[in-house]
Amino acid sequence: MFKLLKFMKKYTLESILGPLFKLLEASFELFVPLVIARMVDVGIANSDTGYIVKMALVLGALGIIGLFFSVTAQYFAAKAAVGFTTELRSRLYRHIQTLSWQDLDSLTQSQLITLMTSDMNQIQTGINLSLRLLLRSPFVVFGAMIMAFTIDVKSALIFAVAIPVLAAVVFSVILSCIPLYKKVQKKLGKVLLSVRENLSGVRVVRAFCKEKEEIERFEEEDLELNKIQRFTGKISAIMNPATLILINLATVWLIHRGALRVDSGNISRGELLALYNYMSQILVELIKLANLIVSITKFIACGNRINAVMETESSQTFPQELTAKRENDFALTFENVSFKYGSGASDSLTGLNFSVKKGETVGIIGGTGSGKTTLVNLIPRFYDATEGKVTVDGIDVRDYPADSLREKIGFARQKSVLFLGSVRDNLKWGNSDANDEALMQALKDAQALEIVEKKGGLDFEIEQGGRNLSGGQKQRLNVARALVRRPEILILDDSSSALDYATDARLRHAVAALDFNPTVFVVSQRVSSISHADKIIVLDDGEAVGIGTHDSLMESCQVYREIYDSQTGGEAK
């Protein structure tokens, strides 16, 4: 957690001024019991109304000055806390963007959302309270004890005994709560994951009439969160009553001891009242300190979770400049490439060897789970090959800077992801400098122009996730976004699965006629979508069981022939 405090450098001045003004306010507060003692011992004892009024004005002045210092301290503390959290949230978001897909696979989306929202709010609250109270409360506690010793040493010994006992209780509760709050945040992440899954898949849930089961699953997870929160709450709740009991016992002891001292003439009634006020100040500050410590335990736990992600180094590194030399003249090659996800038991791809010339169209087909998407994910280096080498334009993809490599590639994924905004804004993700003419041409090539014109043109607003579009419409806009880039390598990862055969055929012909002549990779379950390809790669359980044209594979590859027969009913080619 403390490693994150480096982001407070911009707010060093505010972090100093906030506690400083709080200490000044506390200093004035410590003089209040002495003023009240003088009012009792001099003003009331002598029936001196003028002196009482004079002391009352002094109390008012102390209050006004203290209020000014308190408000000023609050301003600087809030500025530092909000600024620190803003900087930390921005750095965390940027760091997450640097992590590889393999790193993100190990971090759940719900966990990252919890870190960016709930955990950040806990940290902001903790920083704010710490700047205002972390120094002030101990200062008042020990200041009150010192002031008590200036009044009467024997009575003040009660303070010297009570404060260490109270500190022992407080810190015992702290040490017990920190690991419990970590568990609370983990359980909260699971609840958020359940909510996210249900909201994103609400149509599927209702289609299968699974509302009851999902409600029961959510209630079970919510109950687990409730149990750990209640248990943690019980532990942290011990602090306030324990401190109240101890401080009130100390107060009773002080009044009893003080009354005897007053009766014996060792101290005055005003001084006893001042001692009692100092004990009351200690009570109030310890309650504040107890609540502060509860908040601190929460924000330390949250900070440790955030720091763990911040210290996660990306498993991929990219050079700053492209210095490697071309090894061959192919647009793309796979040289004995194997790949395994994380700590998976077996390879998802095994021993792939093939090369592709510029402008060729490559079809990739195979059963579910055969490794089709995994193969194309290695081209833009979303993942690194476990073994072997992938080259683009004759250069190992690991030698490219990230931007240089991915600017060459246009990627349309099976799951179409569209963002809140206009059609124009979404298409410009492919090329931010593209003009409307280029956008309209990309829509035309992707067979989406008619759809967009009917909906109002490029200014048509797309809802979050493309909720106001059908599956086929989203896929075509997804392809259009990839085409806007005018890439050297175009990857269509089953991006026409929601299209009818006629539209799919028109899309294939449009891609084949593109004026910038890209090297095209088409991943599909349909033989008809890849039968025209210059080269077809047939995958089965991660292995290339056939590479060739449609005609040659029909003769030599049984897996391809079986796929063809299953889709055509065994009709002749």
* 3-15 per-position pLDDT tens digit: 788 888 889 999 9
Q: How far is CA 429 from the centre of its chain?
A: 23
Check: CATH 2.60.120.260 for 332-568?
no
Q: What distances in angstroms separate CA 126 from CA 110, 155, 233, 297, 508, one per listed residue?
A: 23, 36, 17, 9, 58
Q: Where are the domains of the chain?
A: 10-310, 332-568
Check if the beta carbon of residue 224 is closer than 8 Å to that of residue 187. yes
Confidence of residue 573 (pLDDT cuts 50, 70, 90): very low
pLDDT at 572: 45
Looking at the predicted structure, is the pLDDT value of residue 458 above 50? yes
pLDDT at 570: 59
Dist CA 90 CA 86 (whole Å): 6
Q: What angle do CA 190, 195, 197 make, to 5 degrees?
A: 95
Q: Which amino acid is located at 183 in the chain?
A: K
- Look at the chain and count its residues: 573
Burial 185-200 (b: 16+ CB within 10 A, else e): bebbbbbbbbeebbee
pLDDT at 408: 92
| Percent helix / strand / coil, the chain, rounded to 5 | 65, 10, 25
Q: Which amino acid is located at 366 in the chain?
A: G
Contacts of 52 (CB under 8 A, 6+ apart): 39, 43, 44
pLDDT at 571: 53
Dist CA 221 CA 471 (whole Å): 32
* 67-114 per-position pLDDT tens digit: 999 999 999 999 999 999 999 999 999 999 888 888 887 787 777 888
Contacts of 210 (CB under 8 A, 6+ apart): none
Looking at the predicted structure, is the pLDDT value of residue 2 above 70? no
Looking at the predicted structure, is the pLDDT value of residue 311 above 70? yes
End-to-end CA, the chain: 66
Higher pLDDT, 195 or 561: 561
What is the per-residue DSSP string for 474-518? HHHHHHHHHHHT--SEEEEESTTTTS-HHHHHHHHHHHHT-TT--
Kindly report the average pLDDT of the chain as a whole number. Answer: 87
Dist CA 36 CA 56 (whole Å): 9
Higher pLDDT, 161 or 478: 478
Q: Do domains 10-310 and 332-568 have the same CATH topology?
A: no
Confidence of residue 360 (pLDDT cuts 50, 70, 90): very high
Contacts of 206 (CB under 8 A, 6+ apart): none
Check if the beta carbon of residue 82 is closer than 8 Å to that of residue 124. yes
Contacts of 389 (CB under 8 A, 6+ apart): 333, 334, 335, 336, 337, 396
CATH number of 10-310: 1.20.1560.10
Confidence of residue 380 (pLDDT cuts 50, 70, 90): very high
Check if the beta carbon of residue 21 is closer than 8 Å to that of residue 76. yes
Contacts of 402 (CB under 8 A, 6+ apart): 318, 381
